[in-house]
Amino acid sequence: MAIDYDGGLTCSCGVTSLDRSIAWYRDVLGFDLLYRLEQIAWCELKTGVERVNLGLSEVEEAGGKGGATLTFGVTDIEAAKAELDGKGVRQDGPIRDIPGMVRLLTFYDPDDNAFMFYQVLGHDHDTGQAT
């Protein structure tokens, strides 16, 4: 029997302060708070990707422990980098170019959780076909 997915995805990150993190994700990445549950120190934010939410769980120690890196597609990585620069967001070096394929930028939230932006070059990322 195949798994019947509903098309949604919630990604989870540990953070040390829901208040600080909600503000950061709203102000830096433009995410919107969907709900917050104080009794379990959890919230979910709507990302810029249809049916992809980010769940934040308040924990004593967060970030920098590995795991999945959420990588968001952008149409203009230079403009996205300029937004991060203007808001003082720590980045892991300059934009990396993989010629004819993709440009990548790694950055970190206040708890050292790693995220990336990608901009596709020269092919359709969804199909792998040359454009």
- For residue range 17-74, what is the model confidence (pLDDT) as tens digits? 999 999 999 999 999 999 999 999 999 999 999 999 999 999 887 765 667 889 999 9
Query: What integer best gives the mean pLDDT of the chain?
Result: 89
Residue-range domains of the chain with CATH: 1-60 (3.10.180.10), 68-131 (3.10.180.10)
Q: Of the ranges 3-12, 57-66, 76-85, 107-116, which one carries the lowest mean pLDDT score?
A: 57-66
Q: Are 56 and 21 a contacting pair, CB within 8 Å?
A: yes
Percent of the chain with pLDDT over 90: 76
DSSP string across 1-60 = ------S-EEEEEEES-HHHHHHHHHHHH--EEEEEEGGGTEEEEE-SSTTEEEEEEE-S
Give every CB contact of residue 123 below 8 A, 6+ residues apart in sequence: 100, 101, 129, 130, 131
Identify the residue whose tokens are 């995805």: 9
